[in-house]
Structure 1
Amino acid sequence: MRFTVLIAIALLLAFGGEWIYRSFLRPIDPLASDATALAEHFNRNGIQVRPYPIRHGFRHSEVLSVAGYEISGYPLPVVVEFCTTEAAATEKLQMIKASPNLAHYAKNGRLVMSLPMWGDDTDPMATKVKNVFGTFVLVDKK
């Protein structure tokens, strides 16, 4: 009985420790070159943005980095997750679809975009952002 309790406590500490590290202690991933390329794409297409890195709690086997984009003169950000594979991006999109505060989302290859807290009154800007995001071509470096 004691052995089972000790194993359960050890497992709880291991998984809890990993979650705490990924969520709070791991350094913020630097802004990826792909995030900068996406920002330049937005800027060329009439949406002036400033990219910045965002802390995330995902495993690096699923998500390489997460970038936020501050739109000039607009109060709400754009968030893009740079996933490792298209399958991982599809899984992230399914998770986002289930979130009630993310009414606008899109997938473009390995990239998943969400517009957190954007409501129905933001449809014109959301449509513009989605259209520009959809035309971005990510060049995979292999």
Structure 2
Amino acid sequence: MRYTVLVAIALLLAFGGEWIYRSFLRPIDPLAPEAVALAEHFNRSGIQVRPYPVRHGFRHSEVLSVAGYEIVGYPLPIVVEFCTTEASAIEKLRMVKASPNLTQPTKNGRLVMNLPMWGEDTGPMATKVENAFGSFIPGA
């Protein structure tokens, strides 16, 4: 019985330590080259943005980096997750769709975009952002 409790505590510490490291201690991943290319595409599409890296707690086997895009003169950001594979992008899209505060999730190849905290009154800008994101060619 004592060994079972010790093993359970050791497993709890190991998994808890990994979660704490990924969520709080790991350095913020730099912007992926595609993040900069996407920012340039948004700018060419008439949406002036400034990209910035976002801390995330995902495993690097699932997500390479996460970028936020500050729209100049607009209070709400765009968030894009750069997934490692198409399958992980499909899984991230499914997770984002289940979250009530991450609206209008969209996938483009390995990229998953969401508009956090955007409401019903942001329709015209959201449509413009979705069209620009959909016309981006990842990896080109």
* TM-score normalized by the length of structure 1: 0.97
Partner of 1:40: 40
Q: Distance in 1 between matches of 2:82 and 2:108?
A: 10
Q: Which residue in the other structure is 1:79 paired with?
A: 79
Instruction: Kindly provide the amino acid, as one letter, of the partner of residue 127 in structure 1.
Output: T
Code of the residue aligned with 2:125 in structure 1: it is M
Once the two structures are superposed, what CA deviation does each residue of 1:53-93 show, in whole Å capped at 9, x if it has no partner? 00000000000000000001000000000000011000000
Tell me the SS of whatever aligns to 1:137: coil
Partners of 1:139 and 1:79 in 2: CA distance: 18
Alignment gaps of 5+ in structure 2 = none
TM-superposed CA distance for 1:104, in Å, is: 1.3
Distance 1:10 1:107 in 2: 39
Amino acid at match of 1:25: L
In 2, Cα distance between equivalents of 1:81 and 1:103: 14
TM-score (norm 2): 0.98
Q: Specify the code of the residue in structure 2 equivalent to 1:129.
A: V
Q: Which runs of 5+ in 1 are unaligned?
A: none
Counterpart of 1:29? 29
Task: Name the counterpart of 2:137.
Answer: 137
Aligned-residue CA RMSD in angstroms?
0.7
